[in-house]
Structure 1
Amino acid sequence: MKSEDTPFVGGPLDGRVLPVLLGITGHPPKTYRVPVPDAAGGPPTVLVYRRVPRPHAGRFALGHKWRYEYDPEGGGDRGPRWPWSRPGAKPDAAPERKGDTTDE
């Protein structure tokens, strides 16, 4: 598999450059989770990094390069954004259809 050296910004991995495996599309994953074991033997702490575009290094930069920025809140993956699951949507209300004239 292909990998790409990707810089990490913020958090405990700040300033490190790690090889990250690329997916089928040639991009690294959107989130990078790093489990850190607890010294007391408890459950591990998971550090979450989000993929963001890296500023272009020059005028001849080819393709997008990425970097990971620390997400201190560690917000979970939001998953697919379906039209009916956006904020303010009324899940119980049936959509009105034109031409629906059922008077009983």
Structure 2
Amino acid sequence: MKLLKIYLGEKDNHGHKRMYEKIMELAYNEGLKGITVYKGIAGFGEKHHIHKSDFFTLSEDLPIIIEIIDKKEKIINFQKIIANLKFDGIMFTQPIENYEEYKK
């Protein structure tokens, strides 16, 4: 099993859709086990522009983190699909250990 993590901004789009919605739709269509989309409360990227949500600042481009866990082969294939979307973010994988132990 592998974990695919994708970091992007809330404002990142693919056509008329938010990028995280497009990725979620693609994951669903590819039959991946599941996906979780998180909205961060603060963060910054390569340009070091701080995005945060607090009482005094209402950011419209908060960090988005997407996590997908599935079999190694399915994650590798999905990464290739995501890479073609050309978004301004990063993605990486991590091995998942002991997955079967916790399913029991």
Say whether the fold is shared (TM-score over 0.5).
no
Higher relative CO (CA 8 A, sep ≥ 6), structure 1 or 2? 2
More helix by share: 2
